[in-house]
Amino acid sequence: MPASWLNRQLMFELLKKDTATEARLGLLTTAHGVIDTPVFMPVGTQASVKALDPRELDEMGTQVILGNTYHLYIRPGLDIITAGGGLHRFMNWSKPILTDSGGFQVFSLAKIRKIKAHGVEFRSHLDGSLLFLGPKESMEIQRVLGSDIAMVFDDCPPHTATAREVRAAVERTIRWAGECSVQPRAPGQLVFGIVQGGSHQALREECAKAITALGFDGYAIGGVSVGEPEPEMLQAIEYTTPLLPANQPRYAMGLGTPAQLVELVARGVDMFDCVLPTRVARNGTAFTRKGAISLKGGGYKADFGPIEEGCPCFACQRFTRAYLRHLLNVNEILGLRMLSVHNSHLFLDVMADMRGHIAAGTFAGFRREFIANYVPSRRVLAARKGVHPVDEERGEAS
């Protein structure tokens, strides 16, 4: 077992555990700063959170962003990022960064692949060039990127995988996690293990046991947000969280809607990432605490209120629904920019609210009220599922 860069008790401090739910309040210390958990991480796949600039991310209270190893490895490539002084300096982001391992993208985006003992041979989804990514390569790339939190290279099967395929993925994930755990790290870099196992409780247990035995700095639940129905996703989370060390951070990969974030925090998850806020923004959809709305709709054409009443975000403080609808309908970039600002702000704001309520001991009531007010949107859920097989902006590391 490799030694962490500092005592694990200091790295993650569990400040409080909710009495009525599994929700937890914590502090995660990284090389680029301390993160209040539960936390939402905006996704910056290609070294940019889509449509947003670092000042906007700062202003909305972003604590940590996610970068994608697979995408950055292909473009701009490690030589450029190395010459630029690592990912933080390259993109001018001084707060923490979590990088995924590229495993998910290799299995979902790459054109042809050959799974070998120590990784995957595949062709770039861009130019077809032959590449190889395995535990060793992934950790080396993440070391060069200099992320604060690196993820192990895993095998994340789709929701349609057979039990036999999921078992093979679990075995591979465990073997590769062992290989990842002994690779060199960037100074102060944390490494998180990933638990696979799909919807199979026994496989989740087997995987969690083996992965936690390797002693990582935190643990992710992978193999969710891969096309499964919501109840199955929640079930997989419920199978897995009790198997993870209580005093270490837990990260549910690729999730979710605002209501799902609340439900997952209630189940003891501390960290989240999702492309939804920026992706649906580019489609003209705005999130509110009552659900998602499509601002392109004619019903908003003379609606001179803000996207969401009382919202302190840059967009809601300046622009009306009618104006934003106009911008969206004439394809002005400012429209999708402002929806990206509002949506990302809302996700971060809901997390801040949850932290406040866990601290105050009022989380259960907040959860009840939030879920009662929030109307899930089928369209939004479809947008999230749609990302799985081919979309470039998939932010998960699994």
Binding site for a second copy (CB under 8 A): 46-48, 50-55, 71, 75-76, 79-80, 83-85, 90-92, 301-302, 304, 314, 318-320, 322-323, 325-327, 329-330, 332-338
Q: Put residue 94 in one of left, alpha, beta given phi > 0 → left and psi -120 to 50 → alpha.
A: alpha
Nearer to a second copy, 50 or 367 (CB): 50
Amino acid code (one letter) for 174: I
Nearer to a second copy, 29 or 48 (CB): 48
SS3 107: helix
CB of 276 to a second copy, least distance (A): 17
Task: Spell out the residues 6+ positions from residue 381 whose beta carbon is closer than 8 angstroms to its own.
Answer: 230, 257
CB of 92 to a second copy, least distance (A): 5
SS3 342: helix
DSSP secondary structure, 176-243, as one string = HHHHHHTS---TT-EEEEEE--TT-HHHHHHHHHHHHHT--SEEEE-S-SSS--HHHHHHHHHHHGGG
Out of 18, 100, 217, 349, the active site residue is 100
Q: Residue 92, exposed/middle/buried by CB under 10 A (0-12, 13-18, 19+)?
A: exposed
CB of 43 to a second copy, least distance (A): 12
Nearer to a second copy, 54 or 61 (CB): 54
Length of the chain (residues): 398
Tokens of 233: 């996703």
Helix 163-181 vs helix 135-145: angle between axes, to the nearest 10 degrees? 50
Describe the chain by its helix, strand, coil percentages, rounded to 5: 45, 15, 40
Nearer to a second copy, 50 or 172 (CB): 50
CB of 42 to a second copy, least distance (A): 13
Nearer to a second copy, 258 or 306 (CB): 306
CB of 67 to a second copy, least distance (A): 12
CB of 330 to a second copy, least distance (A): 5
Neighbours of 343 (CB within 10 A): 27
If we measure between CA atoms, which residue out of 373, 307, 346 comes closest to residue 40? 346
Out of 36, 148, 273, 349, the active site residue is 273
Strand order in the sheet with 190-195: 39-41, 271-273, 250-252, 218-221, 190-195, 149-151, 97-99, 65-67
Assess whether 273 carries a catalytic annotation: yes
Active site residues: 100, 273
